[in-house]
Every structure is written in structure tokens, then in C-alpha cells.
Amino acid sequence: MAQILVLYPHPTDPEAFDKHYFGVHADLTRKIPGLRSFVVNQGAVSTPQGEGPYHLVAQLNFDSIEALHQALESPESQAAVADLANFAPEDTQVFIFDNHDVM
Amino acid sequence: MAQILVLYPHPTDPEAFDKHYFGVHADLTRKIPGLRSFVVNQGAVSTPQGEGPYHLVAQLNFDSIEALHQALESPESQAAVADLANFAPEDTQVFIFDNHDVM
């Protein structure tokens, strides 16, 4: 598996953020070719010390790092990336990595 | 599902970090009761701009947020948490959240 991990800091207007995220951005994301699962937190993203800096943690999983890189070149992915400018806080972080089970 | 997400920044000595992580910490982690899957990156954790600030991204998945909170109170989990002091960079981040599939 391989993953795109997106950490969205607390937005100024959480209600507007959620409306755009679940009303527009999630639909664009689901269209990305090769996407195997798409998971987001419900409820708070806590830390052991209490409330954390992030409002939303999104995890997009692909079969392999090759499938992920291919997906990133698709028009569907480019549309989702372009949409970030419409709602994502400036310091949103995106990480891309190959993943393996060590259980 | 619910997740413990751990972001380890680049350590001063990556080789020593990996040795401890995979030789000691992963074994302690696998013993945590209720752990359903345990996934870490292989290769770099990239960003769209290039190299990112993290060496290792660990994802520990549990059936539910209740199972996760129960796990956190176990001696096995406390042993794994105590071991962080032996190898984890100071600004290691730990996040805890309930997760749901929006695919």
C-alpha cells in the first residue's frame, strides 16, 4: 500500500471548511483513479496532552507507490489538488509515502 | 476504526533510530492489546515540494476509539510509551482519533 496523508490545521471557519470538504472536495477525491480507500477522522484529533493543531486528517490509500504516482498525474487528481486553494488553510501539510504492514 | 498516528522527525542518527525502532519499539508496539494493524512507511516521506520533515510515520489501527482508549491503559501500551524516551526525537508528534471510511 501507499498513502497520501493530508493534515489540515484548524480553519478559521470550521463549518465552512466541513461544508466544502464533504460537499465538494471529498467528491473530487473519490474520482482519483486507483484510490483504494479514503479515510478521515470523525471527532477531534487529540494528542496525549489534549487538543491538537489539526482539524482533519485525511488518508488516501493506493495499492502501491507506482499506482499513487500514476494517480497524481491524472486530471482527477489535479482537479482535487487545485480545489485545495478554495478551502485548505495555508499551512496544510501533504505527505506521500510507501507503506508496509509490520504487524 | 480508530488510529494512533505517530510522526517522527528526522533523527540525528537515522541508523541508530531504525535499529531501536525495528529491534525494540516495534516489538513492544505489537504487544498492545486490541491492535489490529501496524503500518509504517518504507522509503522517504515526501511532500509535493520534495523531502519532508519526517523520518517515520507509524499508524496503529484499532477497531474503535473505545478499544484504542482501553489499549492506552494497558501495561503493554505504557511500556511502549515509556520506550519513546529511549529513541524518539523531542518533537515527535502523537495523534489519536476515530476514523471512518468516506470512500
pLDDT per residue as tens digits for the range A5-61: 999 999 999 999 999 999 999 999 999 999 999 999 999 999 999 999 999 999 999
The whole-number average pLDDT for the span A55-74 is 97
- Per-residue pLDDT at A79: 98
Please state the ipTM of this predicted complex: 0.96
Which residue from A37, A46, A102 is facing B103, i.e. has the nearest CB? A37
- Per-residue pLDDT at B100: 95
Q: Which residue of A has its CA nearest to B23?
A: A102
- Per-residue pLDDT at A5: 98
**Cα-Cα-Cα-Cα dihedral of A83, A69, A91, A30, to 10°?**
40
- At A69, which helix (H) or strand (E)? helix A65-72
For domain B9-98, the CATH class is alpha beta
- Per-residue pLDDT at B93: 97
Q: Do B39 and A102 touch (CB under 8 A)?
A: yes
Residue A15, number of CB atoms within 10 A of its CB:
8
What pLDDT band is residue B59 in, cutting at 50, 70 and 90? very high
Q: Is the dihedral of CA A42, B94, A80, A85 positive or negative?
A: positive
- Per-residue pLDDT at B11: 98
Contacts of A93 in chain B (CB under 8 A): 47
What pLDDT band is residue B41 in, cutting at 50, 70 and 90? very high
- Per-residue pLDDT at A31: 98
Q: Which residue of A has its CA nearest to B81?
A: A48
- Per-residue pLDDT at A96: 98
The whole-number average pLDDT for the span B43-54 is 95
Lookup: cell for B89: 526525537
Domain ranges of chain A: 9-98
Is the pTM value of this prediction over 0.95?
A: yes
Pairing of strands B93-101, B2-9: antiparallel
